[in-house]
Amino acid sequence: MTDRLLPSVRTTPPAGNTVMIVEDQQAIAELLTDVLVDAGFIAAHAPSPLTAASYAREVDATVILLDVMMPQRSGWSVLEDLRADPDTRDIPVVITSAVYPKMGLHSLPPGGPIRFAAKPFDIEELVETVTELAGE
């Protein structure tokens, strides 16, 4: 990975659905962006967890990859905002975490489908999950 700043939106033909990434670690965000773009998605990295819900509307996110442990705001709080907004309530979310590797360890607000992807990622499995959720 390079030390360059991550672009807000990166596409590669053919452009697929938009996957929004909410991740505070630059290297992980870059990795996810590269993997998603290679899989044919548009990858949009949220500038901050504080603005993730509004950014999801702005980029018309199809699926959201949401880190749990972030310094400015927890992923759980971001998820609550997403589910409270009628425009983002039903967007599928993939919780990415080394701390919460599976469902049932934290209460989840009602709304669209939620899956878990434990860190370190199984890249193939993550792409399969995103592809499945994008098709729902």
pLDDT at 7 over 50: no
Which tens digit of pLDDT belongs to each residue from 101-112? 555 555 677 677
Class of domain 9-135: alpha beta
What's residue 16's pLDDT?
45
**Per-residue H/E/C for the chain:** CCCCCCCCEECCCCCCCEEEEECCCHHHHHHHHHHHHHCCCEEEECCCHHHHHHHHHHHCCCEEEEECCCCCCCHHHHHHHHHHCCCCCCCCEEEEECCCCCCCCCCCCCCCCEEEEECCCCHHHHHHHHHHHHHC
Which tens digit of pLDDT belongs to each residue from 52-66? 999 999 999 999 999
Give domain limits for the chain: 9-135
